[in-house]
Structure 1
Amino acid sequence: MSQDDVPGLDLESLRHHLDQQRPGLVSGDLHAEVIQGGRSNLTYLVSDARSRWVVRRPPLGHVLPTAHDMSREYRVIRALHGDGRVPAPPPVLLCEDPEVLGAAFYVMEFVTGTPFRSAAELEAIGPERTRRLAEGTVDALVELHSVDPTEVGLADFGRPEGYLARQVARWRKQLDASHSRDLPDATVLHERLAVAVPASPPATIVHGDFRLDNLLVDTADRVTAVLDWEMSTLGDPLTDLALLVAYDENARLNPGIGTDVGLAPGYPSADALIARYAAGSGRDVSALGWYVAFALYKLAVIVEGIHYRHIQGQTVGAGFDRFGGAVGPLLTRALDTLKD
């Protein structure tokens, strides 16, 4: 039995569990490596002489009981894979017994494909392919939002009633938890968002972090898998679209902080992506300004949290000293978006 040095993954215990639950699945010694990506959950590539799988588990150390729910991730992947319209990785098994790996985990089949994470990677494949990939991202989002949660067994996957109001309140609490300085624009923005919450369209499955680098694509630029479902729920579909737009806006406001795929030559404008989504989904996007402002607010809260951890000495590596300066431009752009 190979004991590759990967924290949080006991290969001997994993092999024993797989042999019990899926006899014949594994043939030969297991090897493992950590896969980069995902917001916080740990992701491993595990292989034997014949096959490859992906294992997902919560981060090491203490986590909140309601956070990093492996059963929710596994449930949505299994439901969508069974439906077939959204390319979700084939599920293998869910283990909720913490005695196996120290926490609940799940296993899915490895899917071949490339995650494009930067403008430099897109620039290398040229503007035409970049355009196709961006349009394919929107098309995959339209497909996800077309799935009826009830038809795939996810009718109780979330609480869509009052979803937006709860989200606004939740992100204010997140900001308060990272308080180290006064941010007057954040206070004004939160107040304006809270008093102008739009009426939501019918609820759909919401990914929660839908962007190009959470997709795998093949050499024909087709999406082979949508990854990182840890934020998924039932809610307002326009929040997914708005966050896609906000990431690209942040790339222009704060180069070098976060994904910058939207800066690549050939990548469509926000207006073009929104129009494609509207045409494909048939949804009214006339109120999207509020959603984009809220998405920028969320990004500002995330960046402020990283800044807070940095000044507390809790970050490792270079570049974190720049995060504090990125919050203001996000808040200003969000306020301007509400005015527009």
Structure 2
Amino acid sequence: MSAETSAETESDRTTEGPTASASDLDVAALTRYLDGRLPGFDAAEPLQVDLLAGGRSNLTFRIRQSGGDWALRRPPLGHVMASAHDMGREYRVQSGLNMVDFPAPTMRLLCTDHEVLGADFYVMDFVTGRVLSTAEDTAALTPEQRRTLSAHHLDTLTQLHGLDLTAAGLDQLGKPTGYVRRQIRRWTGQWETTKTRELPALGELAGWLTDRGPKVPDLGATLVHGDFRMDNMVVDPATYRPIAVLDWEMSTLGDPIADLAVVLVYWTEPGDRLRRDLPVSPDVTTAPGFFTRDEVAEYYARVTGRDLSQLDFHVALACFKLAVIMESIRYRILAGMQRGISASDADEMGRATEALIEIGLRATRIGGVAALGS
């Protein structure tokens, strides 16, 4: 990924759908549709189209001309899993965030007429900034800048979890109770439909979560992102403040500690062993100056005042969810649902699945933060 971009994430580059290119966008049909609907758009002027980062899942195209610079987001080409890639949901959530001054791309229009591009799509303003997705991206920062970035990252998370959902029009986005039980059911079901082999350890982790889930109290629902991590946001290259948080596909109403747990799973530290088998945001936060995982949890608790007594459970649940996602990617690779992918990529996803299961089981025994350092 380019360090300067608007909207494309690791999950977008590693999920189902044939490899796409800019030529996969029907520019003529799009031009006819946007004419008179998109402010600043001129149907008489050629439209420059670029596919961002090659996306194999939700595809993001940069479309521009002299009067404007936008991003168009649509589902992947080819096979689309049921209930996934809901463009209307992404548009609704981000439109609500626009209403309450949360850093998200500005939404412009949603199209549900499949006669235009063959699928739902939406158009938003292109956001220029930096996406930090690798160790190389953060290597040039000073320790002070890395610490500032850590704080800004968590401040954005706490802002998200403190939003007035009614003011954002998102108070009916999901059910305010039962989040944990629904998550366990969802990801257990997903495992059964996409597993490529029997993994008894996954069953052990699922059993522990199923047993413990009903005992986890509902402490009040907030908007949760579901995949909150460093490379799912665009930051200002001068201040390292987030300009826009991206990839709202898994957002819903739920327990905010679930989001914190996902942040911790993606956070890296020197000496991590199992975490290195997860090919997402590799070593982005390992360099000196970044918060440690303990500091991440302490900072969040201090700013929000939230009870973290169920954090170990949520780390185990996050590992379970991400393990199922990695196995789903492996399934799609082995099933030939992605072009240009080798067997080594399937092997990498397999190792990621196994590592996440092991971390999740360790979280049930020695605690979530400690397990992540294994």
Q: Which runs of 5+ in 2 are unaligned?
A: 1-20, 367-374
Q: Percent identity?
A: 43
- Which stretch has the larger CA shift, 20-29 or 162-171? 20-29
* Partner Cα distance (1:13, 1:41) in 2: 20
Task: Say whether residues 1:146 and 2:152 are aligned partners.
Answer: no
Contact 1:38 1:228 in 2 (8 A): no
Query: CA distance change for structure 1 residues 18 and 226 in 2, over 3 Å: closer, same or farther?
Result: same
User: 1:100 matched to which residue of 2?
Assistant: 116
Task: Say whether residues 1:48 and 2:65 are aligned partners.
Answer: yes
* Partner Cα distance (1:38, 1:270) in 2: 30
Q: Which amino acid aligns with 2:186?
A: R
User: 1:73 matched to which residue of 2?
Assistant: 90
Contact 2:223 2:253 in 1 (8 A): yes
User: 2:274 matched to which residue of 1?
Assistant: 253
Q: 1:337 aligns with which of 341, 360, 363?
A: 363
Contact 2:74 2:121 in 1 (8 A): yes
- SS of 2:49's equivalent? strand
Contact 2:319 2:356 in 1 (8 A): yes
* Partner Cα distance (1:246, 1:196) in 2: 20
User: 2:206 matched to which residue of 1?
Assistant: 190
Q: How does 1:126-205 map to 2 (within 5 A)?
A: 126-197=142-213, 198-205=216-223
* Partner Cα distance (1:66, 1:211) in 2: 23
Q: Which amino acid aligns with 2:142?
A: G
* Partner Cα distance (1:97, 1:322) in 2: 38
Q: How does 1:1-340 map to 2 (within 5 A)?
A: 6-22=22-38, 24-26=40-42, 28-36=45-53, 40-64=57-81, 66-84=83-101, 86-197=102-213, 198-218=216-236, 219-248=238-267, 252-255=273-276, 257-260=279-282, 261-315=284-338, 316-318=340-342, 319-320=344-345, 321-340=347-366
Instruction: Using the TM superposition, give the Cα deviation of residue 186 of structure 1 relative to its aligned residue in structure 2, in angstroms.
Output: 0.8
* Partner Cα distance (1:76, 1:39) in 2: 22
Query: CA distance change for structure 1 residues 201 and 252 in 2, over 3 Å: closer, same or farther?
Result: farther
Deviations 1:37-75 (A, max 9, x none): 878211111110242101011111243563322111111
Q: Which runs of 5+ in 1 are unaligned?
A: none
Q: Which amino acid aligns with 1:60?
A: L
Contact 2:196 2:327 in 1 (8 A): no
Contact 2:233 2:244 in 1 (8 A): yes
Q: Aligned Cα RMSD in Å?
A: 2.1
- SS of 1:196's equivalent? helix
Q: Which amino acid aligns with 1:103?
A: A
Query: CA distance change for structure 1 residues 191 and 7 in 2, over 3 Å: closer, same or farther?
Result: farther
* Partner Cα distance (2:262, 2:119) in 1: 30
User: 2:18 matched to which residue of 1?
Assistant: none
* Partner Cα distance (2:41, 2:332) in 1: 42
* Partner Cα distance (1:46, 1:312) in 2: 32
- Which stretch has the larger CA shift, 49-58 or 208-217? 49-58
Instruction: Using the TM superposition, give the Cα deviation of residue 220 of structure 1 relative to its aligned residue in structure 2, in angstroms.
Output: 1.2
- SS of 1:220's equivalent? coil
* Partner Cα distance (2:135, 2:54) in 1: 17
